[in-house]
Amino acid sequence: MAIRVLVVDDSAFMRQIITKMLQADPRVQVIGTAMDGQDGLDKVKALNPDVVTLDLEMPRMNGLECLKFIMAEHPCPVVIVSSLAKEGAEQTLQALELGAVDFVTKPSSRPSDVLWDMETQLLNKVIAASKAVVRGKTGQPVSPVKVGGFTRRRGKNLPLILGIGASTGGPRAIQSVLAALPADFPVGVVIAQHMPKGFTNVFAQRLNANCLINVKEAQDGDLVKPGLALVAPSGYQTEVVVKGTEFMVAISEQEQIYRPSVDILFNSLAKSTGRQTVAVLLTGMGADGAKGLKALRDLGARTISEAEESCVVYGMPRVAKELGAAEFTLALPHIPGKIMELIQESVLA
């Protein structure tokens, strides 16, 4: 059965183009279009689509307002398709926090070669979104299980770094994990989240505003320090390397499908911190990170993957489970507590 899609965009030109792009694939059927947020909300209720593509800047009711109502009244997978996505990264990330599954940036101009470049990306993300698990959202991250602080005594086996990888659904999941960590979190954090260029810095800033630990976009040569989370910059690869008695991030332009790649980050942790690593693989499409997680577990590192029940897209964690890469498979609200528990065990060792 074809994936039934509703296209919401105030531009008649873009409604036509997006419809053509989607219907070029026999797996997709555009069942309707809407010219603004209010029209889109009415048609979501009437047509019950499998996926909605949603513009952000529209008259009468903008995309963010429409998204709030969709998530509250008729939860379904939403893919943001907006020219605001580059200039207004803050709004795009807010849409992901409100429950949108993913986003695609459409060009601000209309050269056909640029415009049609988004076709493959749009199709892939709509198809992936059709498999996403969307629950009613309030706009707040999933509430983590409350966790305590640390007994401040270092043990020789204390993990040196917490590595986190995610893709589709990851921004919301990562915020849920980081927001539960205390300000005195005793190890450094490095994060690889699949995201287009221009978004990771804003993503890091939003995390920093909502977490007790400090968060910033990683720069080449940054030291990995306790109480600091470094977000791998999009468009590049981020690795953790040894620098004397410390650890720092090295940014490069290695060609891979994913930039940043979770596998590249995790494999670098296997070489640098080895068994003194806690690694977490969260929601996401595909398999990136699963092999790197397995390499870490084979060395004796503590590894966690998100359980299917809380994943937006159960792809990367599913492959990790199949490979035997995850020591623990947990629903998202229980992951921060397990991280704290594993580190606490080592602190007291």
CA geometry: angle at 318 spanning 317 and 322, to 5°? 115
| CA of residue 133 relative to chain centroid, distance | 14
Measuring CA to CA, how many Å separate 141 from each of 20, 97, 180, 311, 328? 35, 7, 11, 13, 22
Cα–Cα distance for residue pair 294/315, rounded to 1 Å: 15
DSSP 54-94: E-SS-SSS-HHHHHHHHHHHS---EEEEETHHHHTHHHHHH
74 given a catalytic annotation: no
User: Which residue(s) pair with 303 in the sheet?
Assistant: 279
Q: Point out the catalytic residue in the list 130, 167, 268, 310.
A: 167
288 given a catalytic annotation: yes
3-state secondary structure of 304: strand
The one-character DSSP state at 328 is E
Q: Point out the catalytic residue in the list 39, 83, 102, 194.
A: 194
234 given a catalytic annotation: no
Q: Point out the catalytic residue in the list 272, 288, 310, 334.
A: 288
Of 254, 255, 247, nearest in space to 230 by CA: 247
What is the token pair recorded at 81? 């398709």
Q: Which uninterrupted H or E stretch holds 237?
A: strand 237-243
- Give me the amino acid identity at 279: A
Residues taking part in catalysis: 167, 194, 288
